Chain A
């Protein structure tokens, strides 16, 4: 099932505006290198969730085929990115008393306490996608990064649990499996983007990653090197286009066009009264669009997105520690002046995120839309290393056992 010999890791993101697959090669030096990218416009996804399985399957097949061609490999397993308005993140605490006579905390105790933290307080229909350990507490002593080997009677762990509706997650997995692809693991998109963009230093100082996608906006906040809060808003670029379609009284397709060609996140004074004249193909009179209206509609919607994120972070108590500021990625990060708007609303420095510590296809790495898929590959590489380690241990064990049996 898990091919430990293959060093190819594939991240697949089935997004609302595009499906993209990124192929990474772990190589001998265990340095991750991006060797292939495939993408296709997505037609069967709304607000981050698959609503038309057939169309989605077709689009995924295109993206995978393109990636396979570029990387010259056959793709059989993927790490799947998941998102949707049903996904929530919250901090949970697990407790586990230490039973052993010498009261020494073992690896198993650590696993138990994390399992504990993963399951309590979870709503019935939900499945925990991630349980990210934040820090441990041994007998009330706080902020312990690794308790293994310490003595104590009670082990507690603070975990950040990202959970979502089990049914919806399984929908996504099933769609991918329908294409004869194995899903090695599911990863929350926001987490993946954060993995791709943030350096360890930025995670220490405290940073917020906001992925402005077509159907959803994910955000992840790091402080002191650990995840403090995550969240998803089922609002994205589609909402901006829709707002424009309403406000400018035009079709959705046209609205998207105007958004991409003339849109911006801020309304500057210079453009008051400016209009754009869109020539009509059919020979009718050109359509006049008021530029100020366009910018204002976009500004309001984007401002609201940041406001909602700010409110949620404030409620979770995560807003104050973000000293490195905001890093934007996703298609929405291409909007002119979006970083300035983010700065205004969230009152902290904001910039477009850049993938780091990964080499390979420059064209892919530089674009903010691929941050999530690249992050998925990075996540996959961590998992791969962990499993390779375990695999080698089990290999040794098996070899030893077979030796004994042969002798006997």
Chain B
């Protein structure tokens, strides 16, 4: 007589079912949404929110929310984030219903105008209140779009930082490094949208794909929550026999990661490796080893997945996160023409050997698109912090080799590296 054996538990499903919704807010957000809808994203809900009725009519999103007030009369927020915000605040219950039952909400918006800038923080807050993990993907304006849009974008950014768990930001200006001078404006915008869409896709993969090595949803949440400063992310792909080395080289040269600078400064890294069935553990190892060498003090969360569609290719997505900086640096945020405030002082430090003590080349990344047609306000970003310093003597250390310790050049004054302001 055989004893009844306990029932064998069912094998875990290959795709994790995490309820995710992607919400496009404002004109740019809805445009990116369109690209995602076209390429398809399995198991994800889509919603579009805007004040402009026309853009909503054109989108194929299953859920649409038209934010309307008497003032707006269906014609959009007119580039005023306050109008967008009021419209959103009047509709918070509807926003919450949109986010109900979701574990993760992706918010996509372009900052600098009225709808995206004003509405997305409100959506983020509403989504948090329903208990979801909120990750925002935002685009900030090109330098040529003017100071006002930059300022509004930065304001929106700081509001989103307080409201969302994770913030991935694409400064449009950086796209100039990835494109050729003769690209049409239309094509450029399509590229920026595509970049953000790719970001959404990599995050989606992190949450849903399983395969070789899983990233647990809880770990991801814990890593992202409370890291209110923005994250940078980059995707690189390579094929061929040396692909594990090539893909890391591409990442280290990526303008989005400031040529590897972000890796050295990050507190937390999320790495998602996608390969075909021919992916070997050795390649995974090699990629991780190289990345770990760049970032000694970061907490690393790694996931690897296999997808038939990636046969012969190896794609690595890196999201680098950094904790909030001391309040002293927020001073620079209000100045026009500035991009990331925290990067200002960090630009003064370079991990590259042979760096001179005070003179710094305007751009670190050796990208082909360095000669950009738009006025180079970008150099103002990097030089701004250094201008008061460069006018004085070069110091005794320009003839000796730099003192690199954990990615910092110790020859630079300590008070500069720590960001302690002397008023």
Contact = CB atoms under 8 A, between A and B. Distances in A.
Contacts of B389: 246
B24 to A, nearest CB: 46
A296 B403 contact: no
A247 B422 contact: yes
Contacts of B413: 242-243, 246-247, 297, 301
Given A85-B403, A246-B416, A293 B422 contact: yes
B422 A296 contact: yes
Contacts of B400: 46-47, 51
Contacts of B280: none
B405 A308 contact: yes
Contacts of B395: 242, 245-246, 252
Given A235-B403, A293-B422, A301 B414 contact: yes
A301 B417 CA distance: 10
Contacts of A250: 392
B418 interface: yes
Contacts, number: 68
A274 interface: no
Question: Interface size for chain B: under 10, 10 to 19, 20 to 34, or 35 or more residues?
Answer: 20 to 34
B391 interface: yes
A234 B392 CA distance: 23
A351 B415 CA distance: 26
B293 interface: no
B393 interface: yes
B399 interface: yes
A252 B420 CA distance: 21
A46 B396 contact: yes
Nearest to B392: A249
B411 interface: yes
A243 B414 CA distance: 7
A316 to B, nearest CB: 16
A392 B100 CA distance: 94
A300 B393 CA distance: 20
Interface string A199-239: 00000000000000000000000000000000001110011
Contacts of A308: 405
B410 interface: yes
A300 B418 CA distance: 9
Identify whether the interface residues of A are mostly helix, strand, loop, or mixed. Answer: helix
Contacts of A297: 413-415, 422
Contact of B393 (A234, A251, A290, A304): A251
Contacts of B388: 249
Nearest to A303: B414
B409 to A, nearest CB: 11
Most buried by B among A241, A246, A250, A304: A246
A300 B403 CA distance: 17
Nearest to A243: B413
Nearest to A52: B399
B344 to A, nearest CB: 16
A304 B412 CA distance: 12
Given A246-B392, A249-B392, A252-B395, A296 B415 contact: yes
Contacts of A241: 396
A303 B396 CA distance: 21
A242 B403 contact: no
Interface in B350-407: 388-389, 391-393, 395-397, 399-400, 403, 405
A243 B409 CA distance: 13
Given A51-B400, A246-B392, A246-B395, A235 B410 contact: yes
A125 to B, nearest CB: 15
Given A239-B410, A249-B392, A252-B396, 19 more contacts: A46-B397, A51-B399, A233-B410, A234-B403, A238-B396, A238-B397, A241-B396, A242-B395, A243-B413, A243-B414, A245-B393, A246-B395, A247-B413, A252-B393, A296-B415, A296-B420, A296-B422, A297-B414, A301-B413
CB-CB nearest 10 A-B residue pairs: A243-B413, A300-B414, A301-B414, A242-B395, A304-B414, A46-B400, A300-B415, A293-B422, A246-B413, A297-B415
18 contacts: A46-B399, A47-B397, A234-B410, A239-B411, A242-B397, A243-B413, A245-B392, A246-B395, A247-B415, A251-B393, A252-B395, A252-B396, A296-B415, A296-B422, A297-B413, A300-B418, A304-B414, A308-B405
